[in-house]
Structure 1
Amino acid sequence: MRNKIRPSVLKALLSGARYEVLPTTGAVDKVLESVAPGRTITVTASAAKGLEATIDVAEVLSRNGYHAVPHLAARMIRDAHELRDISDRLAAAGIDSIFVPAGDATPPAGDFAASLDLLRCLAELDHPFRQIGIAGYPESHPFIADDVVSQALVDKRDYATNIVSNLCFDPKLVTGWLDRLRSAGTGTPVLIGMPGPIERHKLLTMATKIGLGDSAKFLAKNRRLFTRILAPGGYGPERFISGLAPALNSERARVQGLHLYTFNQIAETEHWRRNWLDRLAAVTT
């Protein structure tokens, strides 16, 4: 059973999978057309579009019955006053969950150069957030040394309620990372970050919609993504999840759910998820 995911575990993961979307024009309509209210939708932050676009999309999704999780990129926020204003605005919209990455804004807009800076400031405020997510890296961060990344997770564990793993296409690397995380004493639950079924030409189109500067960064940071999609027998979401069986069947790994990077291919991702759930139901009935 260690090498095969228990059907009940797989069903729970697929049923509760959350989607990450980019705050582009039409993103909300795509969610409304394809995803039932009540699901969790996270909204990325783009230095090109500004944090206002992220918050606007999150507010609309929340009003329409979704559990919206905006990304509050630390380097895009000026200071504690702006952070308080954002927190109050999100609370007024009924949003009680956020994700806090450092972000790519260079130089930082103000006082927060790293996500830990913002998390510490947030802890001093009477914030409304029930869940606060941070990023984890199963593979080496492209710009930060491994020991620095590992220490940052330890430093942030008292502020975060979950860790979302960054893009990785090797399930063995993910399971190894989870084991190291738990051995280091970090017990924070993890959401496994992974792409759903992605069409290359649509991914390229989406990259150009992020903004010229962000598009270049996106393509540079995700070069491996394009390579895997193009390669014969490359990345497949079901194969990836199946390879995570040892971790998904383990209570020690504390995998809380799936975080699907949709790149705004929302209808395709939802169709794939529902199809797999239907196949599971057919086998178990």
Structure 2
Amino acid sequence: MTGKDVPALEEAAGGIPQGTRINITFLAGEDPGMRLAAARAVKRLGFVPVPHISARRLPSRAHLEEFLAGLAADGTGENVFVVGGDPARPEGPYEDALAVIRTGLLQHHGVRHIGISGYPEGHPAIADRALWSALTDKTAALGAERLSGDVITQFGFDVDPVLTWLEAARARGVRLPVRIGVPGPAGVRRLLGYATRFGVASSASVARKYGFSLTNLMGTTGPDRFLHALARGYDPARHGVVKVHFYTFGGLRATSEWITTFRQGHAQA
């Protein structure tokens, strides 16, 4: 969710299991007060807030400390997700997520669990070698600080690169649980827009596997086929602990209702 999505979360709350982890984005147009208010709302409704910290959007160390202190005061800062962020150049002293983790400020303000990012299909602006180095370095930093963590991946439409990436991550010593990014149900045009923005493969063959057509952009599609394919290909011995993380491109309520329906159908199968 974003800081502006509190009303949408309140509307969807009845269909979301208590204790669900809900990530709160760190967008350029939202101030710290809005993010803190969103985290408080998540907690009030019975969920686990996971505020994002965007390293390159932090203008100063003081700004980071103020945000963390606010989370700690509200009891919403035990779980955070730290990411480099979109700006090509840092707006302050932090080049990447690792730089934030290494400050020691997170644990000083009561953070106990840190999420980090993973990119099964790569990143349009970062070389694969740098992505792997960042992942292993952040994993090592969490271990050295005795912090728990997990990896949340960029979403995708094709299971094959996800499973290949998982196996490669385990071979590199990454033992953290991995939450595979899954797009909630949304309009095809919107999904393709996000895919273009984040460098996600959306060729005709990939689209057919996922369940939509590039020639019909007016429909809505969900990740049914993707999740079934992930379950079929998953091998705990090779892929480790794997969960899912839903990107609510089509809205919080639509995603929560889709998940409930999918679970019910799977339980009856």
TM-score bracket relative to the smaller structure: 0.7 to 0.9
Unaligned runs of 5+ in 2: 143-148
For residues 113 and 224 of structure 2, the distance between their equivalents in structure 1, rounded to whole angstroms, comes to 28
| Letter in structure 2 aligned against 1:98 | V
Select 2:4's aligned residue among 5, 13, 24: 24
Aligned to 1:48: 29
Q: Is the 8 A contact 2:12 2:256 kept in 1?
A: no
Aligned to 2:146: none
Change (3 A) 1:99 1:247: farther
1:152-191, aligned counterparts within 5 Å?
152-160=134-142, 161-191=149-179
Select 2:239's aligned residue among 243, 253, 257: 253
User: SS of the residue aligned with 1:244?
Assistant: helix
Select 1:193's aligned residue among 178, 181, 200: 181
Unaligned runs of 5+ in 1: 1-20, 205-215
For residues 119 and 200 of structure 2, the distance between their equivalents in structure 1, rounded to whole angstroms, comes to 15
User: Once the two structures are superposed, what CA deviation does each residue of 1:9-31 show, in whole Å capped at 9, x if it has no partner?
Assistant: xxxxxxxxxxxx23335343344
Once the two structures are TM-superposed, the CA of residue 273 in structure 1 deviates from its matched residue by 1.1
Post-superposition, which runs of at least 4 consecutive aligned residues in structure 1 deviate over 4 A?
222-230, 232-236
User: Once the two structures are superposed, what CA deviation does each residue of 1:242-278 show, in whole Å capped at 9, x if it has no partner?
Assistant: 2223553414412341100012512211111111221
Size of the aligned set, in residue pairs, is 251
The structure whose RCO (Cα within 8 Å, separation 6+) is larger is: 1
Q: Is the 8 A contact 2:163 2:233 kept in 1?
A: yes
Change (3 A) 1:192 1:224: closer
- Does 1:231 pair with 2:219? no
| Letter in structure 1 aligned against 2:119 | Y
RMSD after superposition: 2.9
For residues 33 and 255 of structure 1, the distance between their equivalents in structure 2, rounded to whole angstroms, comes to 28
- Does 1:78 pair with 2:59? yes
What's the TM-score once normalised by structure 2's chain length?
A: 0.81
For residues 59 and 91 of structure 1, the distance between their equivalents in structure 2, rounded to whole angstroms, comes to 11
Select 1:221's aligned residue among 188, 194, 197: 197
Q: Is the 8 A contact 1:175 1:246 kept in 2?
A: no
User: Once the two structures are superposed, what CA deviation does each residue of 1:135-170 show, in whole Å capped at 9, x if it has no partner?
Assistant: 000012100100011111111003441111112211
Larger CA deviation: 124-133 vs 113-122: 124-133
Q: Percent identity?
A: 30
Q: Is the 8 A contact 1:194 1:261 kept in 2?
A: yes
What's the TM-score once normalised by structure 1's chain length?
A: 0.77
Change (3 A) 1:226 1:72: same
1:70-219, aligned counterparts within 5 Å?
70-95=51-76, 96-122=78-104, 126-160=108-142, 161-200=149-188, 203=190
Once the two structures are TM-superposed, the CA of residue 124 in structure 1 deviates from its matched residue by 7.5
Aligned to 2:20: 39
